[in-house]
Every structure is written in C-alpha cells, then in structure tokens.
Structure 1
C-alpha cells in the first residue's frame, strides 16, 4: 500500500489543521447482498485501529480537543480530522491505522449495526426519505446508486465482521487521497513517510472471497412513477432524472439550472410555488456531485389540497427548462449565485480540504471549479436550453402521501405521459 495521493493547502490559520482522507470505495461499491457494508465499515473504522482500542482512541482524540469521524457517500469513504497543528503529529497517523489496521471487533460492529438499523427505521417515518427512495429505485433500478448509503435493513443485519475485513483489505485498491488545509507543520510530511501507520504491510486483515460488486447501469424499463403511501396531511413530490457525472462538459450548465431553479428566495421554484401560488412550504433542486449519472431532481412538499396544482407547476417548470431559453437576466443571476456558492463553500479549512479531496478522488484537476466558472461565463440562454433538452428529457416522478391524494396525482401524471407520447 503506497502513501495516499497528498494535497497540501497551507493557510495562515491560528494553528488549525483539517485533514480529509477520501477512499474511492463508497456505498456504490457495496457487493450484491451486502448493501450497507461500506457504511458499516466506515462507522467502525474509528472504533479501534492499530495500537488503539475504542476507549484509547477516543481518549487520544478528545484529549486533544480534536474531531474525528468517517462518513460514507455513494462514491467514497471520507475520514475527517480537525485538530491543532501541535497535535497533528500524534493524530494524523490515526488515519493510516484506520485504513490499514482497523480492529473491527465483533462487539463494535454489532453496536454500529444497531445504530444504522435504527437510522433506517427513522427514515421510514420521513416522507422526504420515502419519496427519494422511490425515485432512486425508479432511476437506477438495481444499479449502484439505487440504495441509501445506510443500506437495506435485511442485508445489513446479516453482515459479519469477517465480511467487513474482506472489504477493509480492498479499501485502497483504487487509491486514496489525503488533503491537508490550514497550518501544516514542517515535520508532518517526513513523519508520514517514516511512520509505520503509512508503511507497506501496515495492515494484515483477513482476506475472504468477496461478492461481485453490482454494476453501475441505470434502470431498465420499469415505469416512470413511484408511489409511497403515508398517512399524513402532506404530499412530497420529486420530479427528475439521472443526468451527468461531475466533470462532464455539460455539467456546468446543469449547475446553472440548479441555481436558477432552486437556490434561494429568488429562484424560479420558490417564486412560482411559494410566492405566486402559495402551494408549497419547501422547494428545491437536488443535484449532487457524483462519479456517475447524478440525480437532477426538483422537490416540493405541499398540503394534500394543493398537491395537484403543485405537480402542475413542477411539470410546467420542467417543460420550460427544456423548451425555452432562459431570460438573460435570470442566467446572469444564476452565474452570480454559483460563484457565491463556491466562495461560501471554501470558507473553512475543512471545506477547502474536503473539496480538494473530492475533486482528486473524482479524477478532476485541482482547478476544476475555476475552469467550470470560465465555461459558465461563456454559456448563453440557447446553450443552457440545449443542455437541458439533451440531458433532462425523460423525468421520473416519485410521490409520498395519503392514498386519496396519490390517486389524483397518478391520474394527472398518466395524462401527462399520454400527451407526451402523442407529440
């Protein structure tokens, strides 16, 4: 195992260092029948590694007033460490131990498994989660983005420590990225080169036969509507489709559309659904950065008596996006919003380190954001319409709410689909 791909971002901070280690194995790499395995593995990594048991590791980190956690996303595991620069030499090797010699004790695995199962149970009470799960299943079928990173309860229950050891042995097969931002001690790099936590053969996990990872293909033909019944007074609507990977030449255009449609009180969906018609109390657009086809989803939460009009307005907004050029003033405002968003997302050392690790993990250059801004500056309303028409022409609808309202919306959607087929 080689040293991680290292990114240095020295800043004149008052003795603060943020470290972000990205491992290119996330929930999209969960093997067949083990959905939730990488999330479970990530949660156990900080419960003992190398020379530290769970209590010793907690004492070390908390005794330094530092923060350490591991989050699992679709495209990777992200280990986050924030500490004082004077403690970095003691704490940074922990990241190496987490990757190369995790303990994965059965009692700790069972503890984290129970916490994950409780989180999945809570999600079943959340209308937004139910609606998004339905949309995700429609969009990705049995593909690698088709499930929540937490996994599937029935499969999560059966995951064993030995299966996690197998995954741990493969964590760095696709390499890892370590980004440091803030006050970086001069001795830190030499420490990494010589410390046993970062050396070849630092970990000796048990190697087991792994299941074959699932493919990344999108859905097969299985309909365009998902319905999840829930006895509430609200309806959640999600309209969208899988779009582009982060780094695709047309993705900057989708970022501008996301800002125009769903960012802030001046956005189209906020003005149209909330201010003009008062039908929704929550609106937005979900378009995360992904290595594969990322979701581009409009979402709205509304009352049962306003749900029909809410769906009509969402459909109108989607159709306009694909069929009409943006107003030049709206496009200019979207460009300003994206610039502001990037600036706001680079204010802390943690944000800066995470973005740099994310870009390198996706195989993109360190100046990717600046290049995107230059591409955006050159885009005009006709270009934006072309991008929308090319990549957002087949939306899928997911609904969650009471049965009576869903039946009305289902009829409304079927009528829309029939009209689309006739055109």
Structure 2
C-alpha cells in the first residue's frame, strides 16, 4: 500500500477538484503542558513550505483562485486543497511539501501563536465556550479530549519552532490518506505518482497512535462544573463520554441525537422552546470521533427560568433510558439521519473528507450505506438498550451568574442524593 494511500471519488462538477490529505495526529496527541501544539502546527503548514515562503505560497494559491488550508481536529490534521482540474498538477505538490518540508519560520510561528492566543481570549467571553470547556475538563480531565483543539492560552505562550519541530518531523512517516473528489482526470493516479514531491514518500508506521495519551485521564469524581460569568443567560450542558465512530451501538445513539436535536420537530426544541419557552437555543451534540465521543444536550436560558430548563433537560435525559421511542418518533429519526448524511456529502470537499475519515478510522468505504440499510432493523427496544448502556452517568457544566449557579447546583445535588 502506498503512502499516502490514494482514494478517488468521482463527482460531477464543473472542472473542480477537492483534495483532502489526512494525517493521524490531532489535538488529542498534544504533548502534556503544550496543549494547542497541533493546532498551531496546522496553521503554520499553509504559511510556507518547500521553496515557497508565506508570501510566495499565498500568491501561487490565490493566483489560481484556489484554496489551501490545514485544520487540526481532535483525531487528525486535515490538509485541504480546492482548485480547478487545470491547476491540479501545479498545486497538488503543495500538499506533499506542507507535510515533508514545512518552513515553520520563527516570525510566522510568533504571529500564528499570537493570533491563536487572542482567539482563545475572545472565546472566554462566550458563555457557550466556557460551558463547553468546563464540560470537557470535567469529563476527560487531562486526557487528549480534555481541551479545545486550539489549546490553552497559558501553554501556548512558550511554544516556539523548536517545540514544534518534533511534531512536524513525524508527519511524513505517518500512515496518511489522500482523497480526490470532483472532476478527477483518469490519469491522475499516474500523475501523482510521478510528481517529485510525492515520490519516495516514507512508508507509514501503521503504529501512529501507539504513543497517544489516554482520551480521558485524571478525571475526578465531580459531576458538576460551574463557571461564573456576568451574563444575561445561563448555558447548560448535560451529557457524558460514550463511544467511538463505528461502534455497534453508535447508530442507535445517532438516531437519539436526531430525535433530540435535529430540526424544529426535535424533542429538545418542542419541550424547551415550544411547550415551556425556557430556552433561547437547544442542541444535541454527538461528533464522530475515534475515541469516546461526547453525547451532550445543550440549552441556554434566562436566569429566572434556568432551573426549569435544567429540570426539563434532566427529565429528557432520564426518559432516554426509561422508555422506548414510539415507532413514529423512531421513523422520523431515521428520516432525519438519512437527511443529515445527504447534507454532509453535498460538496466535493465534504465527500473527500468523509472518505479519508472512514479510511483513517479503519471503516469500510460503504460504512454510511451499511448504516442506512441497518436502520430498518433497529427497533425501539434496541435504541432503549443502547441508551441504558451509554447514557446513565451524565455530567453537568453550567455558565452563568453566581446566583443562578448556586440555585442550579442545589438542584443537581438533590438529583445526586436521590
């Protein structure tokens, strides 16, 4: 098998090509005390590589009307290129150069580090972000999933080129996956193999995650996290760490997420907004991660109605493990699930990213199609049993005024004591 492994996804498009190169190192691999290192590295990969400094690289890419970037996710770095088929042969080598010869110029390191710290400081003013940060720390502790991919501002202060070099040097030796989607010329496989920057690429180790820290580590027994903020709303996040993408129970939890949080017919929207009018925003969060993904219910409410909002969230959470969905609710969740899949595969870029994600997580290329076929076999009892296995020990993160937090903490303590 070549490295990177090449995947082709033909899509009818007006001469547009999307490329995604996935490297199996994300923010969950951030070394201890340097959380945010991979996100900083990602921002620098497109700021100069090979023969191109940051100005030359920007001129080359933007001169072709193309887009080039790198994003740090929890489980991976994803390099993205969007261009015309005519420019592909000229621009595709940049993906290889970003991996094999990033420049990491000290001035660019300092600039990107400063911009990241500023962004993190702005996020501290967002109650949703503060509640999310608190929930991560409460649930995953010092583990790989315990921090935002952007990192911790205080730990970024001392990150310099020397600290990033070991992370950059291992990128080319990883088992990587390259997907091309769109108007893919038939000769593209031979073309990539003949390009100088893709030749003699080191073989992947196949052992890329052997040194990864645990996803959750040093997690205490606390079940509630409070973040006081002078704000007019209270943000509530209730949930727990569950399972990884591809687990046999994932489809059942995915249907519950659709039932709870997708669209205005969802249970959260109906119960908290339509029936009781206690929430500005509601959502159910369940990302597709390699490790134990969070399954979280979120809501924001005015202080005066926040205790009722919490009561409703707790009632909904308990119902998941106590009573099965009706056939009508399950059928609607199936339809929403299929709709979510379709929405996530509308563009060439989305299709390419899905292909590399499935390959990196060792799932079959037709995983989504298999899930759709399995929908009809899932019964309300199956979904109930999955909820009973995975949704029995929630943790709560709150952000709001001190007075509201004290009131909600007392309500949570009564639940714990019951």
Query: Is 1:321 matched up with 2:320?
Result: yes
- 8 Å contact kept, 2:233–2:301: yes
2:143–2:214 contact (8 Å) kept in structure 1: yes
- Post-superposition Cα deviations, 1:48-105, rounded to whole Å, max 9, x if no partner, equal 1011111111011000000111110000011111110000000000000000000000
- 2:260 maps to which residue? 261
Aligned match of 1:165 = 165
Could you tell me how far 1:219 is from its partner in structure 2?
A: 5.2
Whether 1:411 aligns to 2:414 is no
Long gaps (5+) in structure 1: 203-211
Question: 2:141 matched to which residue of 1?
Answer: 141
* Larger CA deviation: 380-389 vs 3-12: 3-12
Counterpart CA distance in 1 for 2:289 and 2:173 is 19
Q: Which deviates further from its counterpart, 153-162 or 332-341?
A: 153-162
* Corresponding residue for residue 207 of structure 2: none
Q: How does 1:12-51 map to 2 (within 5 A)?
A: 12-51=12-51
| Partner of residue 74, structure 1 | 74
Which one is further off, 292-301 or 369-378?
369-378
2:146 and 2:216 in contact (8 A); partners too: no
Q: Deviations over 1:101-149 (max 9, x none)?
A: 0000000111100110011001100000100111101110111100010
* Superposed CA offset, 1:291-323 (max 9, x none): 000000000001000100000000000000111
Tell me the CA shift for residue 217 of structure 1. 3.4
* 1:384 counterpart residue number: 383
- Residues paired across the two proteins, number: 410
Paired with 1:266 and 1:201, the residues of 2 have a C-alpha distance of: 50
Length-normalised TM-score, structure 2 = 0.96
Question: Does residue 154 in structure 1 map to residue 146 in structure 2?
Answer: no
Tell me: CA distance 1:218–1:32, structure 2 relative to 1, closer, same or farther (3 Å).
closer
* Preserved CA contact (<8 Å) 1:24 1:174: yes
Greater CA deviation, 369-378 or 70-79? 369-378
Aligned to 1:205: none
Shift in Å at residue 213 of structure 1?
Answer: 4.8
SS at match of 1:298: strand
Q: How does 1:283-322 map onto structure 2 within 5 Å? A: 283-322=282-321
Aligned to 1:278: 277
CA contact (8 A) 1:3 1:199 kept: no
Could you list the structure 1 runs, at least 4 aligned residues long, displaced by more than 4 angstroms after superposition: none
Output the CA distance in 2 between the equivalents of 1:237 and 1:11.
41
After superposition, the C-alpha distances for 1:140-164 in whole angstroms (9 at most, x for unaligned) are 0111100010111111111110221
Q: CA RMSD in A?
A: 1.4
How many Å separate the matches in 2 of 1:134 and 1:12? 44
Conserved 8 A contact 1:139-1:218: no
* SS of corresponding position for 1:236: strand
Greater Cα shift, 48-57 or 398-407: 48-57
The 1:33/1:221 distance shift into structure 2, 3 A limit, reads closer
Change (3 A) 1:352 1:240: same
SS at match of 1:360: helix
CA distance in 2, matches of 1:375, 1:173: 37
Q: Is the 8 A contact 2:3 2:201 kept in 1?
A: no
- Structure 2 unaligned runs (5+)? 203-210
1:129: which partner in 2?
129
Asked whether the equivalents of residues 23 and 76 of structure 1 are also in contact (C-alpha less than 8 Å), the reply is yes
Contact in 2 for aligned 1:24/1:172 (Cα 8 Å): no
For the 8 Å contact 1:321–1:388, the answer to whether it is kept is yes
1:243, distance to aligned residue in structure 2 (A): 0.5
| CA distance in 1: counterparts of 2:220 and 2:45, whole angstroms | 39
Matched, 1:345 2:348: no
Name the SS for the 1:284 alignment partner. strand
